[in-house]
Amino acid sequence: MRVLPGSFYRSGKEYLSISEASYRAQAHPFTLYDAIAAEELEVIEVAGCKAISAEDLERWMMEGGE
């Protein structure tokens, strides 16, 4: 496991901050906020930072997210 700025690990699962997730998905942060509001992505809080799982982000992108 390599920890990068904006990424977190909990129980062996990688989570990304919203800003890092939008960078990796090459999407505007508001696009992710819309997906979160539509309950397409689940948000957790890690050390006071809102984050989504990298696995959920990848699934969302494969389903045609954006």
Q: Any idea where the domains of the chain sit in the sequence?
A: 7-62
Angle ∠(58,36,45) on CA atoms, nearest 5: 90
Q: What is the largest CA-CA distance in the chain?
A: 31
Torsion over CA: 38, 42, 45, 50 (sign) = negative
The secondary structure of the chain in percent helix, strand, coil, rounded to multiples of 5, reads: 40, 25, 35
| 51 neighbors 43 (Cβ within 8 angstroms) | yes
* pLDDT of 11: 87
The single residue listed with the structure tokens 């799982």 is: 53
Q: What pLDDT, on the 0 to 100 scale, is given for residue 44?
A: 92
Residue 1 scores a pLDDT above 70? no
